[in-house]
């Protein structure tokens, strides 16, 4: 017996099992579409490397959808922040613009939810930092791109201290060797 092909939003009967197939969302349709696969394959080919053929496959994963939602929320919050600071946006320096732009690009590549939070905060803090050298903007944009959430947390904790002392303190194993 040949079962007819299920249409979206229909019931699918096979091997005595009835399953409801829910209609896919517009995003899911686009993410899993043939056109999207072609586009991702082209991007991967242009980027080169051994991972290029994996991009279309990864785009269909559930993790990809979760990541898309996290990024979407982060970008919506940044848009809200920028809208709330319209006057500051009008007077952005080139350095501030570079940092905000680089932060948004970093958000698109960030998979850590904690880092996304820090990046959102970084955009707002950048709006308040008008005095910056071009070299500082360049270095900071590289740091925010490459730093992990755990490294940010370490720096925030370490920043609470007034200094860092490097000394030659013997380790417990060294003390035991000296006593023998």
Both 123 and 141 in one domain: the answer is yes
Q: What pLDDT score does 11 carry? A: 43
Q: What pLDDT score does 118 carry? A: 92
Tell me whether residue 179 is in a domain. Answer: no
Q: State what percent of residues in the chain have pLDDT above 90.
A: 26
Average pLDDT over residues 129-133: 86
Both 81 and 146 in one domain: the answer is yes
Tell me whether residue 11 is in a domain. Answer: yes
DSSP 148: -
3-state helix, strand, coil in the chain (%, to 5): 65, 5, 30
Both 125 and 157 in one domain: the answer is yes
Upper half-sphere CA count for residue 56 (Cβ side, 13 Å): 14
Q: Domain residues for 104?
A: 62-162
Q: How many domains does the chain have?
A: 2
> Measured between alpha carbons, how far is 72 from 116 in angstroms, rounded to an integer?
11
Domain boundary among 23, 44, 60: 60
Tell me whether residue 177 is in a domain. Answer: no
Tell me whether residue 171 is in a domain. Answer: no
Both 92 and 147 in one domain: the answer is yes
Instruction: Give the orientation angle of helix 113-127 with respect to helix 94-109, to 10 degrees.
Output: 170
- The candidate with the shortest Cα–Cα distance to 118, out of 106, 132, 133, 136, is 106
Tell me whether residue 55 is in a domain. Answer: yes
Neighbours of 174 (CB within 10 A): 10
DSSP H/E element including 38 = helix 34-47
Q: Mind listing the pLDDT tens digit for each residue in 62-115?
A: 777 788 888 888 889 999 988 899 888 889 999 999 999 999 999 888 888 899
Q: Are residues 81 and 124 in contact, defined by beta-carbon separation less than 8 angstroms?
A: yes
Q: What pLDDT score does 119 carry? A: 92
Task: Report pTM.
Answer: 0.56
At 46, is the pLDDT very low, low, confident or very high (cuts 50, 70, 90)?
A: low
Tell me whether residue 168 is in a domain. Answer: no
Both 53 and 68 in one domain: the answer is no
């Amino acid at each position: 017996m040949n079962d007819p092909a299920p249409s979206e939003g229909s019931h699918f009967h096979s091997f005595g099992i009835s399953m409801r197939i829910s209609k896919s969302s517009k995003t899911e349709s686009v993410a899993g579409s043939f056109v999207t696969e072609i586009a991702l394959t082209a991007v991967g080919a242009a980027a080169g490397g051994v991972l290029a053929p994996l991009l279309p496959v990864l785009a269909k994963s559930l993790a990809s959808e979760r990541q898309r939602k996290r990024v979407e929320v982060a970008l919506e919050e940044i848009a809200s922040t920028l809208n709330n600071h319209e006057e500051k946006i009008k007077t952005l320096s080139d350095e501030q613009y570079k940092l905000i732009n680089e932060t948004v690009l970093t958000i698109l590549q960030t998979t850590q939810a904690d880092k996304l939070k820090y990046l959102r905060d970084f955009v707002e803090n950048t709006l308040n930092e008008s005095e910056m050298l071009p070299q500082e903007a360049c270095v900071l944009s590289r740091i925010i791109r490459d730093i992990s959430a755990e490294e940010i947390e370490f720096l925030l904790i370490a920043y609470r201290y007034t200094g860092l002392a490097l000394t030659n303190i013997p380790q417990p194993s060294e003390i035991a060797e000296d006593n023998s």
